[in-house]
Structure formats: C-alpha cells, structure tokens
C-alpha cells in the first residue's frame, strides 16, 4: 500500500508512520497542499491521509482537487471532531473521517476498509492486508 500523508504536524506522522510501515504500508509525507499536489502529479498513491488544517489550503479544498483530478481514496485525519465537520468532509468526497487523537490499529483498519471498498489494490495486495 502506497500512502501519501498530508500533515503539517510532523510529530503525528513521526509517531504513526513506523507502525504503518511495519504493517506493509509505504508512507510518503507532505507538509502542505502544494507539496501534496506536486507528489500526486508525479506518483501514484493508493490512499491519501489528509489533515483538515494545512498551512496553505484547507484540507477540504485539497480533497476536492484530488477527487477531481485523481480520484484517490481519502481519509481525513483531523482534530475537528464535531458532526458538522465530518459531514462536510464526507460530502465533498472523503471516503472516511477519523478524529485526532486516534488509535493506530483503528487507523490501519480504516485504511484497509477504504482500500477494499475502493478496489485500488490487486487481489494479492488485498490478501496481504488480512
């Protein structure tokens, strides 16, 4: 699984990425929407982990752009935990939403679920997830 994680708070990615990598994910980091768009233009990712609050653009706007151009599955990971924010994210194209703080195993389970539903993985990759 090739993941792009767009998060300006390095500590979160530094803590969680090693766990995801042990579980078979390749994690590429971007700290801004601009960085993410540049990476998405050059590489293919199975899934995008996306923070709502980025320094140069709201994550919701980046999500819309990603859905318009690449249709890459998106999980929003954000400190915004109220229902309104969750509904907005899901309505603009996010495939799932997880509020911070979150458990690493729950994040992994949600990644697997979104990838299964999206059909983004080969059957061999899907078997490796189980």
pLDDT at residue 47, as a whole number: 98
Residue 24 is predicted with a pLDDT of 95
Q: What is the pLDDT of residue 122?
A: 55
pTM, full prediction: 0.91
98, 74 Cβ separation under 8 angstroms: no
Catalogue all structural domains in the chain, each as residue range(s) with its CATH number.
2-129 (3.40.50.2300)
Q: Write the CA distances from 63 to 1, 75, 78, 112, integer angstroms.
A: 19, 9, 13, 19
Angle, CA of 66, 60 and 49, to the nearest 5°: 65
Q: pLDDT tens across 63-103, in order? A: 999 999 999 999 999 999 999 999 999 999 999 999 999 99
Helices and strands, number each (H, E), in the chain: 6, 5
Tokens representing residue 5 in the block? 């994680």
């Amino acid at each position: 699984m090739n993941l792009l994680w767009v998060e300006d708070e390095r500590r979160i990615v530094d803590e969680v990425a090693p766990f995801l990598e042990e579980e078979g994910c390749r994690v590429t980091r971007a700290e801004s929407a601009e960085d993410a768009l540049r990476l998405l233009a050059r590489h293919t990712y199975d899934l995008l982990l996306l923070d709502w609050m980025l320094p140069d653009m709201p994550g919701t706007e980046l999500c819309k752009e990603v859905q318009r151009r690449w249709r890459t599955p998106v999980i929003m990971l954000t400190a915004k935990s109220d229902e309104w924010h969750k509904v907005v994210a899901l309505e603009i194209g996010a495939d799932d939403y997880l509020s911070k703080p979150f458990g690493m195993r729950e994040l992994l389970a949600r990644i697997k679920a979104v990838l299964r539903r999206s059909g983004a993985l080969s059957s061999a990759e899907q078997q490796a997830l189980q």
